[in-house]
Structure 1
Amino acid sequence: MKDKLQQAIALMQNSKLDKAAALFAEIIEEHPNDPVGYTNFGNLLLHMQDAERAQRFFEKAIELDPYAATAHYGLGNLYYEQSLYAKAQKHLQTAIEYGLMEADTYYLLGMTLQHQKYHKLALPYLLRAVELNPDDEEFLFQYGLSLAQCEHLKEAEEIFYKVLQKNDNHSDAYYNLGVIALYDEQPEKALEHFEEALRIQPDHVLAANGRKRVTAYLHERQ
């Protein structure tokens, strides 16, 4: 089973989805009481944007083994994609509880909490995701955003600068640095950051609004 499973996963990663599906179906037929085949088929179906069938496969895997952490992660991921954040949170927490303590799991759980406006609860999960995968630009940015939303502005500022070290064309990092500069009562510095965001992304609505407000303020102050 192990060799066949690795072969099917490799086919999926190489976008040979029909061949991967056929192989996963064989694995399930040969091992109908093993949750692994159902979980992987669920992942494939989710990748193919067939959420309805993917859900059934994840649920079948959990029915066979309630402690199948990867199946809980798959179901959590599915609910996250459907913006059903409370349901996603439940399954992602279960996945971690049952041993799937990986960066992606912590990140996705943090994001479900962010979307539910539980910013303080999201913070430790996003921090853990960054600790486990410090090279992921998106993990780092979302952690910075969570810090800012919890009003830890100095720490957030440091994180946004780290994001720019990884990607100096990250318009949202510049925008958020502009907002922090405004809170620090540094309008000229804020304007520079908004200008940079707009240089990178001319249609950045929030940065354009920030630039407009700061420019008007600086004009009135003269």
Structure 2
Amino acid sequence: MEKNQLGIQYMQEGKWEDAAKVFMEAIEENPKDPVSYINFGNVLSAVGEVEKALKFFERAIEIDENAGAAYYSAGNLYFEQENFDQAKNMYEQAMKKGINTGDNYFMLGMSFVQLEQDKLALPYLQRSTELNPEDAEAYFQYGLCLAQLELIDEAIPQLKKCVAVDPDHADAHYNLGVAYGFKEDEKQAKKHFDRALEIQPDHLLAGYGKKLIEKGEEE
């Protein structure tokens, strides 16, 4: 088995030291192959060696400026470090270099969300749902982004798609409750607040939403 493939297998098995050893051997054997640097950076990232990991991603980009996976991996590191502006830049670079995956669109959208630029996030989150139609979190974040922009009628179908993929997504049910509350459909709102509480009994916001509806019904 080729060393990079073997190293990835070790990573999947959680054998980080074995993976690191194999990737380092691959780098020594072929120091001009950016893939080995990206893989070694991903191992370092997984074990929390952030600064070292970034150096390996940067080295991969020095060797091949079109190594899209290096930009994407660096973006993930910056996102985890809450450096959302730099994360956004890296995901954009990854896209320019051909990384047009649902995950890259999703993370670019989430970077814009964290930068409080919901309008800019919208098309990327939408595209992520098209590319990953079984990704409940993509539907949830897209629906949430629509709701933040007060596009309630557009948000509801996305949140419904989220709970169709993942029926136990408590936050999606809560936000459906809020959306139906805005539309003054108390029956549907209460149904989704109840479902959120069934999944997560300590969901404070769902409990508060349910109490508000019950109070309104009493009055």
1:145 alignment counterpart: 144
Alpha-carbon distance, 1:200 to partner:
1.1
1:101 alignment partner AA: N
Identity %, equivalent residues? 45
2:218 alignment counterpart: 219
Alpha-carbon distance, 1:212 to partner:
2.2
SS at match of 1:32: coil
2:31 alignment counterpart: 32
> Is 2:118 the counterpart of 1:119?
yes
2:166 alignment partner AA: N
1:66 alignment counterpart: 65
- Structure 1: how far apart are the matches of 2:86 and 2:155? 29
1:191 alignment counterpart: 190
Query: How do 1:170-185 and structure 2 match up within 5 A?
Result: 170-185=169-184
Question: Which residues of structure 2 form unaligned runs of 5+?
Answer: none
SS at match of 2:57: helix
SS at match of 2:2: helix
1:46 alignment counterpart: 45
Alpha-carbon distance, 1:123 to partner:
1.0
1:204 alignment partner AA: H
Query: How do 1:102-113 and structure 2 match up within 5 A?
Result: 102-113=101-112
2:22 alignment counterpart: 23
1:28 alignment partner AA: I
Deviating more after overlay: 16-25 vs 151-160: 151-160
1:11 alignment counterpart: 10
1:75 alignment counterpart: 74
Question: Which residues of structure 1 form unaligned runs of 5+?
Answer: none
The two structures have a TM-score, normalised by structure 1, of: 0.93
Alpha-carbon distance, 1:131 to partner:
1.0
Deviating more after overlay: 22-31 vs 64-73: 64-73
- Structure 2: how far apart are the matches of 1:216 and 1:139? 34
1:193 alignment partner AA: H
1:135 alignment partner AA: E
Deviating more after overlay: 81-90 vs 209-218: 209-218
Aligned residue pair count:
219
2:153 alignment counterpart: 154
Alpha-carbon distance, 1:32 to partner:
1.7
> Is 2:185 the counterpart of 1:168?
no
- Structure 1: how far apart are the matches of 2:54 and 2:204? 37
- Structure 1: how far apart are the matches of 2:166 and 2:11? 30
Query: How do 1:129-144 and structure 2 match up within 5 A?
Result: 129-144=128-143
- Structure 1: how far apart are the matches of 2:30 and 2:146? 46
1:174-195: CA deviation from partner (whole Å, max 9, x where unpaired): 1111111111012333222212
- Structure 2: how far apart are the matches of 1:75 and 1:29? 22
Q: Which runs of 4+ in 1 moved over 6 A?
A: none
SS at match of 1:157: helix
1:91 alignment counterpart: 90
Alpha-carbon distance, 1:218 to partner:
2.2
